[in-house]
Amino acid sequence: MTESPQDGGRPGEPDRVVFRDKRKIDPVTGEARKPASSLGDLGPDPAAAPPKPSAEAAEVAALQAAVAERTSDLQRVQAEYANYRKRAERDRLAAGDVAIGRVLVELLPIIDDIDRARSHDDLTGALKSVADHLEAVFTKLGVEAFGEVGDPFDPAVHEAVLHTESDEVDIPTSTTVMRRGYMHGERLLRPAMVGVSEPAAVAPELPPTDGDLGDLDAEVES
């Protein structure tokens, strides 16, 4: 069935034809159609406000928010515990290194006696066996000796007890070693006691005096 639109169109425009299907039987499904008794049967109004959530949906949303908050708290606690374990392990290792270092410092005089005996060819027999075993323990613990003749002087690890000048060095150099130093990893157990030779001071060249200039003039005239 065709219907003409009501008056109110634009002047000069042809009337539009609107087709409305008012058949009571749906031609596709073959079922009877329900009459549109009100505007509500035409579908939801897009301008209408959205339906309010039910009490059950609100409870589910609240539970989800609570679970997210507890999960965040748990992750934060796990991170803090992991950091605590790292700090505790680092402190434990540092305390162990300090304790080992103290014991090693107490044993250094024995190593000095062994070095003196070796320098006098007195390190023989049972004493040599004990010395070798003690030095092997020091090496296993990561103890390193330093301080040799010819090493550049380093005030951070050398203790200078003698100072001399020499034309044979260009920089302050350890030319005498009274006692070797020792390192345990990156920790200084004891500085090396050394004698230091510094480059000899060069006397500045002085300008010639008036007498010297007269001698030069006489030489030129001759």
- pLDDT tier at 2 (50, 70, 90 boundaries)? very low
Task: Output 73 or 211, whichever has higher pLDDT.
Answer: 73
CA 156 to chain centre: 26
Q: What is the mean pLDDT of residues 195-217?
A: 66
More confident residue, 201 or 119: 119
Higher pLDDT, 56 or 153: 153
Query: H or E segment at 102?
Result: helix 55-119
Cα(186)–Cα(168) distance, integer angstroms:
32
Domain 143-204 class, CATH top level: mainly beta
**Closest Cα partner for 108 from 132, 138, 136?**
138
Domain boundaries, the chain: 62-141, 143-204
- Per-residue pLDDT at 38: 47
CA–CA dist 174, 163 (Å, integer): 10
Q: How far apart are CA 117 and CA 114, in angstroms?
A: 5
Rounded-to-integer distance, Cα 15 and Cα 9, Å = 8
Confidence of residue 58 (pLDDT cuts 50, 70, 90): confident
Mean pLDDT of all residues in the chain?
80
**How far from each other are the two terminal CA atoms of the chain, in whole angstroms?**
145
Comparison of pLDDT for 69 and 41, the residue scoring more: 69
Q: Are 165 and 144 in contact (CB under 8 A)?
A: no
Q: What percent of the chain has pLDDT over 70?
A: 68
Q: Taking a C-beta distance cutoff of 8 angstroms, is the pair 211, 129 a contact?
A: no
Rounded Cα gap, residues 2 and 20, in angstroms: 7
- Nearest in space to 188 (alpha carbons), one of 162, 160, 161, 158: 158
